[in-house]
A = this chain, B = another copy of it.
Amino acid sequence: MTVDSDCYAVIFTSRLNNDAQGYEAMAARMVELARAMPGFLGMESARGADGAGITISWWESLEDIALWKAHPEHREAQELGRRQWYESYRVQICKVLRDGPRRPPEA
């Protein structure tokens, strides 16, 4: 991802329940869906063995983020997350003010 103009980040922090059956498949599907959305710039995820995870997605505009939030299949996933998968979660929407280059630069 390079940031030539405005760029927004969604910070999603979560903790999975012990029983998170079906989560991995849905998470993979969400990545696939997000990539196809307008304004999608990138996504990175990390989850430790303790179940605590962080996903960042980057977008061109707040409107793009709102569209992604409202995507029907994504809404289903959000609902399943609330009901089943997440012990807790939190979403923050941010404006990227300064974007350091990836080091070393990508080949």
Contacts and interface: CB of A to CB of B under 8 A. Distances in A.
Interface of A: 8-9, 11, 13, 44-49, 52-54, 56, 62, 82, 86, 88-104
Given A49-B49, A97-B93, A56 B11 contact: yes
A13 to B, nearest CB: 5
Contact of A95 (B46, B91, B97): B97
B101 A44 contact: no
B94 A9 contact: yes
Contact of A99 (B44, B53, B92, B101): B92
A100 B94 CA distance: 11
B52 A46 contact: yes
B102 A92 contact: no
A62 to B, nearest CB: 8
Looking at A46, A91, A93, the one whose CB has the most chain B CB atoms below 10 A away is A46
Contact of A56 (B48, B54, B88): B54
